[in-house]
Structure 1
Amino acid sequence: MARLRTARLARSAKPFLARGGPRGERCPGCRLVPSHCVCSLHPVVPTRAGVCLLMADIEPLKPSNTGWLIADVVPDTLAFGWARTEVDPALLALLADPQWQPYVVFPGEFVAPERVVTEVACADASAAKRPLFILLDATWPEARKMFRKSPYLDRFPVLSLQPEQISRYQLRRSRRDDHFCTAEVAGLCLDLAGEPQAAQVLQTYLDVFTHHYLQAKHQLPPDWQGEAHQRLAQALGRTARA
């Protein structure tokens, strides 16, 4: 993620200015202002599943991007920039690695029925292959374009999520409640892969990050003993910071 951000900044003709977020210096680790940094809370949960993020052009630059949170929690998270005309050879090597069974995570209503699955066949620890969830980290219009114009993904099953919950993500607006942010999608995938603790930690870490981001935006201190922090500490078996 940091590599992608550095490379994207190097290509920029002018500084990237995030809209609507907190201003000023930011922590290079969590992209929050230093007074609201969450790096001390950085949770890591060993998982059998992996995540592959295909990121639209400016996503690595957005402080509100939640792909970073997935990379914090899930050790085997790899991120690649997406371009219509070229493919990173490292991405193709990852997709060809025999240890992984890739799943493209995308709504089934837009896909040929024969490609759609709703369960993760290799969720069992005894399965020969580990699940690798390919997430298109982009706005919805960008994600649809990425899906259509990435023929190297065509040979993989499409995991269509059927979540009953409503998105709680507050940092960007969507016209539909069933449009989830990238971290929420990853959490649902981890649940299907038989990784409930990692799913819970990722969701509560997202809630903590959202709290710190919004508090910084409104120039208010974070509540280190708040409900989100307590849930994250409980999920990790820790004590919330005083």
Structure 2
Amino acid sequence: MSHAVARLRAERLARSVKPFIARGSRAPRCPDCRVIFSHCLCAWKPKVQADSGMCLLMHDTEPLKPSNTGWLIADLIEDTSAFGWLRTDVDARLLALLDSPVWQPYIVFPGEFVAQERVVDEVVRQPGKRPLFILLDATWTEARKMFRKSPYLDRFPVLSLQPEQLSRYCLRRSKRDDHFCTAEVAAMCLELAGDQQASQALDAYLDVFSTHYLSAKRHWPLDEQDSVHQRLHTFL
């Protein structure tokens, strides 16, 4: 595995002074999908194209958590970058990415917490540029802090999503039903940008990941012929 989130995870592990132990099962996990080997997800990785790019700003331990869904985005979207967030330091590679003339960055965040002159609710393509969605991969409390304390993001429009459905993500739960996991947010962004196939594939991949993860945690057998797997099979 060599995508951006996997590399960030390796960098974070190299800095750790003690092993990171995930909650729940201590059984060995597949290093490529982070699910225990009996419920490995690797054969279900979708293959789709997308014009959009993703930039994940990840709070300290997010790359280490097996339940993190930023990993799924990096599995699917070829142009995914991932950076650890620090209040006192900014990765020079991140700043270079944000300054690249190839990309049209949007910081994705709820508009109710932002000055309204910065808020947009649609992706308007600029000639010669591709959408780059900056996602704060963290708990809600952490994400609000990251947004406030990242002045280098202040120059970009804030894409405020207006989803009609409730979150389907069940591996970690926010106290609010209108909070979404990172992969759900990415899928909404892809749809707004016109990358409908990639959006649908990411939604389907998230559902299969959740099924494998929870089945492993609860010692349930998998039914790879069920509707969840069949929906994703379209994109393999």
The two structures have a TM-score, normalised by structure 1, of 0.94
Distance 1:132 1:89 in 2: 17
Letter in 2 for 1:23: R
Question: Hey, what does 2:109 align to over in structure 1?
Answer: 106
Distance 2:6 2:72 in 1: 12
Distance 2:10 2:197 in 1: 32
Secondary structure in 2 matching 1:60: helix
Question: Hey, what does 1:147 align to over in structure 2?
Answer: 147
Question: Hey, what does 2:189 align to over in structure 1?
Answer: 189
Secondary structure in 1 matching 2:228: helix
What is the CA RMSD across the aligned residues, in angstroms?
Answer: 1.0
Secondary structure in 1 matching 2:10: helix
Question: Hey, what does 1:224 align to over in structure 2?
Answer: 224
Q: Report deviation, 1:114.
A: 0.4
Secondary structure in 1 matching 2:176: coil
Distance 1:94 1:19 in 2: 34
Question: Hey, what does 2:55 align to over in structure 1?
Answer: 52
Letter in 2 for 1:211: T
Report the number of matched residues: 232
Distance 2:189 2:170 in 1: 20
Q: Deviations over 1:3-61 (max 9, x none)?
A: 111111122222111123x3211111100111111111111311110000000000000
Gaps of 5+ in 2: none
Distance 1:164 1:217 in 2: 30
Q: Report deviation, 1:220.
A: 1.7
- Asked if 2 retains the 8 angstrom alpha-carbon contact of 1:187 and 1:203, the reply is yes
Distance 1:45 1:83 in 2: 32
Identity of aligned residues (%): 69
Distance 1:186 1:36 in 2: 25
The two structures have a TM-score, normalised by structure 2, of 0.96
Question: Hey, what does 1:97 align to over in structure 2?
Answer: 100
Distance 2:227 2:168 in 1: 15
Letter in 2 for 1:44: K
Distance 1:49 1:12 in 2: 33
Distance 1:40 1:19 in 2: 25
Secondary structure in 2 matching 1:80: strand
Letter in 2 for 1:233: H
Gaps of 5+ in 1: none
Letter in 1 for 2:38: S
Q: Report deviation, 1:174.
A: 1.0
Q: Is the counterpart of residue 202 in structure 1 residue 206 in structure 2?
A: no
Question: Hey, what does 1:82 align to over in structure 2?
Answer: 85
- Asked if 2 retains the 8 angstrom alpha-carbon contact of 1:45 and 1:75, the reply is no
Question: Hey, what does 1:17 align to over in structure 2?
Answer: 21
- Asked if 2 retains the 8 angstrom alpha-carbon contact of 1:44 and 1:75, the reply is no
- After alignment, is 212-221 or 135-144 more displaced? 212-221
- Asked if 2 retains the 8 angstrom alpha-carbon contact of 1:44 and 1:74, the reply is no
Q: Which runs of 4+ in 1 moved over 6 A?
A: none
- Asked if 2 retains the 8 angstrom alpha-carbon contact of 1:44 and 1:72, the reply is no
